[in-house]
């Protein structure tokens, strides 16, 4: 089979890496998977989308790349898993409907037999005949009781199977939007949440702000102490974000060592205060190696803050928050940088 052949897969892998290098894009697992799929020509529609973007702009932004990955690569896998779980649930429902149909048919037959026996009782006064009819009714009722018990047992088993399948479906749906390392929402979950935040802010004329966080010197920490400790750092940041947010605030692992926080009903200045609180909480934490108790030092984050502007879609606010994040990095890290709010812009214009 060509798709699993050593030489073929190596050739596709080399093509994928050449694309990644030429476009200066991340070679992380999602990025590699996307360009491997592209190089193998497995999804012509996705390839047309990428080629169109490259023809128009000569490059792909990380936002565009992640959007294409979610739409064509990750979503197809999730859809397949959901379809399998949905098919199992559908089959189980068909089974229950079939069992109920059998029970209704048998109950209908029993009613017919009882009605016939009642008619015979009304037409005779002979003791032997009455006794025979009564015995027949008793036997019929016993048969109904036995069938009812068997049906109840089968329905209970089917109910348990349905509950298991429903749990599996719920788990699959949750896993599709959950990051396993931090327990926060993943990139796909964030994309959905920020889309909803824009729609709500636009329809209700309410503000919301976006924080973009990046762990400072994370690659150096990973290289020095290993990926397991790197995951511990990511988990620590995830826990701190959960503890810092409230109400309908939403946190996600945006990708790699970068996180995103959506703050509904929060204007720029208050969002900047929240960002400072998060930065300070993370800064005072210290990492220790459990096996030896060795103190690995503290970690810091840089944060960019931007606020929703009426009528815009997710991409502009994400790009502004990301630009502010890189300003914080350039300013020396372990700091918060926000865009200039509308009041300040109006004051300067006056």
Catalytic residues: 257
Q: How many other C-beta atoms can be found within 10 angstroms of the C-beta atom of residue 175?
A: 13
Q: How many other C-beta atoms can be found within 10 angstroms of the C-beta atom of residue 266?
A: 24
Q: How many other C-beta atoms can be found within 10 angstroms of the C-beta atom of residue 241?
A: 26
Cα-flanking dihedrals φ and ψ of residue 149, to 5°?
A: -65, -40
The torsion defined by the Cα of 334, 335, 339 and 342, in degrees rounded to 10, comes to 150
The rounded distance, in Å, linking the Cα atoms of 23 and 58 is 9
Structure tokens at 52: 């169109």
The rounded distance, in Å, linking the Cα atoms of 109 and 144 is 10
The rounded distance, in Å, linking the Cα atoms of 263 and 240 is 15
- Cβ atoms 222, 287 nearer than 8 A: no
Cα-flanking dihedrals φ and ψ of residue 126, to 5°?
A: -70, 125
Q: How many other C-beta atoms can be found within 10 angstroms of the C-beta atom of residue 125?
A: 8
């Amino acid at each position: 089979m060509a798709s699993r052949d050593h030489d073929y897969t190596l050739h596709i892998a080399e093509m994928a890496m050449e694309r990644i290098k030429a476009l200066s894009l991340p070679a992380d697992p999602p990025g590699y998977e996307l360009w491997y799929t592209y190089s193998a020509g497995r999804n012509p529609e996705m390839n047309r989308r990428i080629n169109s973007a490259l023809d128009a702009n000569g490059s792909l932004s990380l936002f565009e790349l992640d959007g294409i990955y979610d739409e064509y690569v990750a979503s197809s896998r999730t859809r397949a898993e959901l379809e399998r779980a949905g098919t199992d649930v559908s089959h189980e429902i068909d089974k229950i409907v079939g069992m109920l149909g059998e029970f209704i048919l048998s109950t209908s037959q029993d009613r017919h037999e009882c009605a016939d026996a009642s008619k015979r009782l009304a037409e005779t006064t002979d003791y032997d005949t009455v006794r025979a009819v009564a015995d027949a009714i008793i036997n019929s009722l016993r048969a109904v009781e036995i069938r009812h018990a068997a049906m109840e047992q089968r329905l209970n088993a089917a109910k348990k199977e349905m509950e298991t399948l429903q749990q599996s479906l719920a788990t699959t749906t949750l896993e599709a939007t959950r990051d396993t390392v931090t327990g926060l929402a993943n990139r796909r979950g964030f994309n959905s949440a920020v889309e909803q935040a824009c729609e709500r802010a636009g329809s209700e004329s309410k503000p919301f702000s976006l924080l973009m966080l990046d762990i400072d010197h994370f690659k150096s920490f990973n290289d020095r102490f290993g990926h397991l400790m790197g995951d511990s750092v990511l988990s620590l940041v995830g826990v701190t974000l959960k503890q810092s947010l409230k109400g309908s605030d939403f946190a996600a692992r945006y990708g790699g060592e970068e996180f995103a926080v959506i703050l509904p009903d929060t204007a720029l200045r208050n969002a900047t205060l929240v960002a400072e609180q998060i930065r300070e909480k993370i800064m005072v934490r210290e990492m220790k190696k459990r096996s030896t108790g060795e103190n690995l030092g503290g970690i810091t984050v840089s944060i960019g803050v931007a606020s929703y502007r009426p009528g815009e879609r997710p991409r502009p606010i994400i790009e502004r928050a990301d630009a502010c994040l890189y300003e914080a990095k350039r300013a020396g890290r372990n700091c918060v940088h926000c865009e200039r709010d509308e009041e300040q812009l109006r004051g300067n214009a006056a």
